[in-house]
Amino acid sequence: MGQMSPDWTLPSLLVNNPMVWMLQVNGLIVDIRHAPLELQQFVYEKGLIPFIPSKQDG
């Protein structure tokens, strides 16, 4: 548990918490918000992210 822990982030602030979106893909840490939509959908279905960032209203 720490300051940037997604478990302690308000739902309205999840989109701005970088720790929510950092995932390991093929051995590299990537920000899933910058990944293709298909990859975002895949990790959402696996339960690794709380929502699909590309589908959120900006």
Q: Where are the domains of the chain?
A: 6-55
pLDDT, residue 16, reads: 87
- Does 9 or 21 have the greater pLDDT score? 21
- Is-contact 12 25, C-beta < 8 A? no
Q: Whole-model pTM above 0.85?
A: no
Nearest of 54, 32, 34 to residue 43 by alpha carbon: 32
pLDDT, residue 21, reads: 93
Nearest of 15, 24, 18 to residue 3 by alpha carbon: 18
pLDDT, residue 57, reads: 55
